């Protein structure tokens, strides 16, 4: 099943029978206890009452998962159904019956690899369990299931390329050698090309001279796995790399040059390309890049911190149109930033993907105080020679940017929610930029390091009697890769809930960071906490301004006081508590 099976909301699921009834199935209830709707979890299992020897069409509310499983409960081989699942776009659906691959009924057996014919659906109740057929028009995946068979539908990687070809394309290009020609042009093996369709632009028929040109539709895929456990991730990755290379070559103009130089094309080449990438449901029109522009220059920069205003670079076609997408979904193009005149300086957040019509910088910063010029250049994408970047307008530079001293704050990470009385625990703080609250390029720089002071935070009410004890052994761990500072080997010698004050001080006395920790529940030895996996069984309400507490950062203080109050009045609290509106 898909990794997001507990988070994706497929319901309501519509199950429509061949005798006119429709069953709308809602999803299972939330099985997680958390603050808010978005973090809820559901087991994506849907039950429907069905009758043997009937056909059922199934529609999902959201995007179908890459893998979905069907079974008939409490039945035997005499109970048979024909089911059909609707997909939002043309897909290659591999069907597995009890973990074994079953070929589609319209497979062309004259090929050693999977090639489908256009014969009609012939899955019947007399067919073997797992017999299947994909209707390319309605995008329904039909299959037969009985009471002894578990059926899995798995989307396999399929690449659909729709080339717009000019009317001058010679008819010889569409000869019997077309597959070999396409394989040479695209840089793939011939057995990856599973279907080719040529449509004239004005009448939607196959090859026929047209003043408007042609659309050449090419479908590529790899061989199916013989069973679910035999899925080859390496082969899928290689196919995605082929996809990226083809798309990159087109958007650089190299594929057009290769096409034009081929002996079969008579100096013609594609004028457009629309693509449906593997594991996607939509088609995208690709553009060829001509130049890039620095639309927004970075500003309000502090050393080692993300600039408040992040850079924005936009790519354009020769006609001045913004290019929305560069590269494949799996491997989008990237832009890298360097300091002009100081190419070896490590720039925080230097690399960003290009998507949705612009670069997506979020952590770009400059490491040191001063005035600098920054150059932005595309990283050569897969399958593209680095000379393309050098000979095309794919580099832009800023004016001089002023960088001021860092202004730091801190965030607690890797929260410790509970511990045992007199047992050691750690507290981890991430120094961040006080303006953007994003992590720094480096956690220390300029030769200084951090020291720490930790104490128990005094609540307005209902403080417990425990004392914080810090070990005399080394207590500070600085993790440069994670950008964190951890105070280790602390214990609390009393039960209840506590918050801690943490003060980080740089050894050059330039920076001081103060952080108030989350509540830490200290429990007795050998008494485990009850953990709710569904909605809580006990609710309590209190009067107060929840939004104001959140805005002031005091909601956690309120939670800790509520817990300690309940304990102080003798309430047998056996779990942690959460607070929400």
- CATH number at 35 reads 2.60.40
Q: What is the largest CA-CA distance in the chain?
A: 90
Q: Which helix (H) or strand (E) holds 342?
A: none
Report yes or no on 547 lying in a domain. Answer: no
The CATH number for 486's domain is: 2.60.40.630
Residue 274 sits in the same domain as residue 164: yes
Question: Whose CA is closest to 352, among 373, 372, 326, 317?
Answer: 326
Domain check: are 221 and 329 in the same one?
no
The answer to whether 425 touches 416, Cβ cutoff 8 Å, is yes
With 80 as the cut, is the pLDDT of residue 461 above it?
A: yes
- The verdict on residue 534 lying in a domain is no
Q: Copy the structure tokens of residue 122.
A: 């012939």
Average pLDDT for residues 71-76, to the nearest whole number?
Answer: 94
Q: Mean pLDDT over residues 178-190, rounded?
A: 93
Position 3 in a domain: no
Q: What is the mean pLDDT of residues 5-28?
A: 82
Residue 17 and residue 108 in one domain:
yes
Report whether pLDDT(390) > 80.
no
Confidence at 1, pLDDT banded by 50, 70, 90: low
Q: Are strands 301-302 and 401-404 parallel, antiparallel or unpaired?
A: parallel
Comparing CA positions, the residue from 328, 346, 324, 326 lying closest to residue 336 is: 346
119 and 181 fall within a common domain = no
Same domain, 417 and 500: yes
Q: Are residues 18 and 127 in the same domain?
A: yes
Report strand pairing: 193-200 vs 214-221.
Answer: antiparallel
Q: What is the pLDDT of residue 191?
A: 92
3-state secondary structure string across 85-125: EECCCCCEEEEEECCEEECECCECCCCCCCCECCCCCCCCC
Mean pLDDT of the residues in the chain: 90
Residue 269 and residue 256 in contact, taking contact as beta carbons nearer than 8 Å? yes
Q: In degrees rounded to 5, what are phi and psi of residue 247?
A: -65, -40
Q: Please choose, from the candidates 480, 468, 473, the residue with its C-alpha nearest in 3D space to the C-alpha of residue 416.
A: 468
Q: Which helix (H) or strand (E) holds 258?
A: helix 254-261
pLDDT tens digits, one per residue of 408-438:
999 999 999 999 999 999 999 999 999 999 9
- Rounded to whole angstroms, the Cα distance separating 150 from 97 reads 6
211/301 same-domain check: no
Residue 2 has pLDDT above 60, yes or no: no
Banded model confidence at residue 36, pLDDT cuts 50, 70, 90: very low
Short-list 185, 165, 191, CA closest to 263: 185
> Mean pLDDT highest for which of 3-17, 311-325, 520-534?
311-325
Helix (H) or strand (E) holding 201: none
- Tell me whether residue 80 is in a domain: yes
pLDDT exceeding 90 applies to what percent of the chain? 69
Note whether residue 459 is domain-resident.
Answer: yes
Range of the domain at 435: 408-526
Q: Kindly state whether residue 577 falls inside one of the protein's structural domains.
A: no
Examine the domain organization and report whether 188 and 202 are in the same domain.
yes
> Which of 493, 511, 526 finishes a domain?
526
536 to 32, 375, 579: CA distances (angstroms): 9, 54, 12
Q: Which of 404, 428, 443 is the last residue of a domain?
A: 404
- How many angstroms separate the Cα of 3 from the Cα of each of 39, 60, 65, 229, 231? 15, 18, 9, 16, 16
Co-location of 422 and 310 in the same domain: no
The stretch 133-147 carries a mean pLDDT of 94
DSSP E strands: which ranges in 322-407?
A: 334-339, 351-355, 358-359, 370-372, 374-378, 395-397, 401-404
Q: How far apart are CA 29 and CA 41, in angstroms?
A: 8
Do 53 and 134 fall within a single domain?
A: yes
Q: Cα separation of 97 and 56, whole Å?
A: 18
What are the pLDDT digits (tens) for 256-307? Answer: 999 999 988 889 999 999 999 999 989 999 999 999 999 999 999 999 999 9
What is the predicted pLDDT for the residue at 38? Answer: 46
Which of 118-127, 358-367, 379-388, 505-514 is predicted with the least confidence, judged by mean pLDDT? Answer: 379-388
- pLDDT tops 90 at residue 141: yes
Q: How far apart are CA 458 and CA 564, in angstroms?
A: 13
What digits encode the pLDDT tens for the residues 481-493? 999 999 999 999 9
For residue 369, give Cα distances in angstroms to 35, 137, 311, 402.
42, 62, 18, 8
pLDDT tens readout for residues 329-387: 999 999 999 999 998 888 999 999 999 999 999 999 999 999 999 999 999 999 888 88
Residue 388: inside a domain: yes
- Whether residues 421 and 301 share a domain: the answer is no
The last residue of a domain, from among 286, 312, 329:
286
- H-run or E-run covering 557: helix 555-568
How many Cβ atoms sit within 10 Å of the Cβ of residue 512? 11
State which H helix or E strand residue 519 sits in: none
Overall domain count for the chain: 4
Q: What is the pLDDT of residues 212-226, one digit of tens each?
A: 788 999 999 988 888
Per the DSSP assignment, residues forming a β-bridge with 336 are 351, 377
* H or E element, residue 343: none
Cα–Cα distances in Å, from 214 out to 182, 211, 449? Answer: 15, 9, 66
| pLDDT at residue 4 in the model | 59
Residue 526: pLDDT band (50, 70, 90) is confident
Same domain, 171 and 231: yes
Where b means 16+ CB within 10 Å and e means fewer, 376-409 reads: bbbebbbbbeeebbeeeebebebeebebeebebe
Judge whether 389 lies within some domain.
Answer: yes
Look up the CATH number of the domain holding residue 296: 2.60.40.3960
């Amino acid at each position: 099943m898909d990794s997001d099976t507990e988070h994706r909301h497929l319901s309501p699921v519509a199950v429509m029978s061949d005798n006119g009834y429709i069953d709308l199935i809602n999803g299972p209830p939330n099985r997680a206890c958390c603050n808010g709707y978005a973090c809820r979890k559901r087991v994506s299992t849907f039950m429907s009452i069905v009758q043997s020897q009937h056909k059922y069409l199934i529609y999902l509310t959201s995007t179908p998962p890459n893998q979905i499983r069907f079974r008939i409960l409490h039945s035997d081989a005499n109970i048979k159904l024909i089911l059909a699942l609707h997909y939002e776009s043309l897909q290659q659906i591999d069907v597995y019956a009890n973990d074994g691959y079953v070929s589609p009924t319209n497979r062309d057996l004259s090929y050693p690899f999977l090639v489908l014919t256009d014969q009609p659906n012939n899955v019947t109740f007399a067919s073997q369990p797992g017999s299947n057929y994909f209707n390319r028009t309605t995008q329904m995946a039909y299959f037969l299931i009985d009471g002894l068979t578990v059926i899995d539908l798995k989307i396999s990687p399929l690449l659909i390329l729709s080339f717009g070809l000019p009317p001058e394309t010679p008819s010889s290009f569409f000869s019997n050698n077309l597959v070999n020609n396409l394989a040479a042009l695209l840089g793939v093996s011939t057995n990856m090309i599973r279907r080719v369709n040529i449509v004239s632009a004005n009448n939607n028929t196959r090859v026929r001279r047209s003043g408007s040109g042609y659309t050449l539709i090419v479908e590529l895929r790899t061989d199916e796995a013989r069973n679910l456990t035999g899925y080859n991730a390496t082969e899928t990755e290689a196919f995605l790399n082929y996809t990226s290379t083809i798309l990159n070559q087109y958007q650089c103009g190299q594929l057009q040059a290769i096409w034009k130089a081929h002996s079969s094309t008579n100096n013609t080449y594609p004028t457009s390309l629309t693509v449906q990438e593997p594991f996607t449901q939509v088609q995208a029109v690709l553009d060829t890049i001509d130049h890039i522009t620095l639309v927004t220059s970075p500003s309000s920069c502090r050393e080692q911190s993300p600039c408040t205003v992040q850079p924005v670079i936009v790519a354009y076609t020769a006609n001045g149109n913004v290019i929305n997408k560069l590269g494949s979904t799996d491997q989008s193009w990237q832009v890298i930033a360097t300091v002009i005149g100081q190419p070896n300086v490590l720039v925080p957040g230097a690399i960003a993907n290009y998507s949705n019509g612009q670069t997506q910088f979020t952590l770009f910063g400059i490491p040191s105080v001063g005035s600098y010029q920054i150059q932005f250049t595309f990283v050569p994408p897969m399958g593209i020679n680095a000379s393309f970047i050098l000979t095309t307008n794919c580099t832009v530079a800023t004016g001089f940017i002023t960088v001021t001293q860092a202004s730091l704050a801190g965030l607690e990470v890797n929260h410790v929610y509970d511990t045992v009385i007199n047992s050691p625990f750690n507290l981890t703080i991430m120094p961040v930029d006080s303006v953007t609250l994003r992590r720094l390029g480096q956690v220390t720089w300029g030769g200084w390091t951090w020291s720490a002071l930790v104490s128990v935070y005094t609540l307005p009410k209902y403080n417990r009697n425990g004392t914080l004890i810090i070990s005399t052994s080394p207590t500070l761990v600085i993790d440069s890769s994670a950008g964190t500072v951890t105070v280790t080997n602390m214990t609390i010698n009393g039960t209840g809930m506590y918050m801690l004050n943490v003060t980080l001080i740089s050894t050059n006395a330039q920076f001081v960071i103060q952080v108030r920790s989350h509540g830490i529940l200290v429990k007795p030895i050998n008494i485990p906490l009850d953990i709710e996996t569904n909605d809580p069984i006990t609710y309590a309400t209190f009067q107060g301004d929840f939004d104001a507490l959140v805005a002031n950062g005091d909601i956690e203080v309120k939670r800790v006081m509520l817990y300690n109050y309940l304990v102080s009045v003798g309430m047998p609290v056996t779990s942690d508590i959460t607070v929400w509106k």
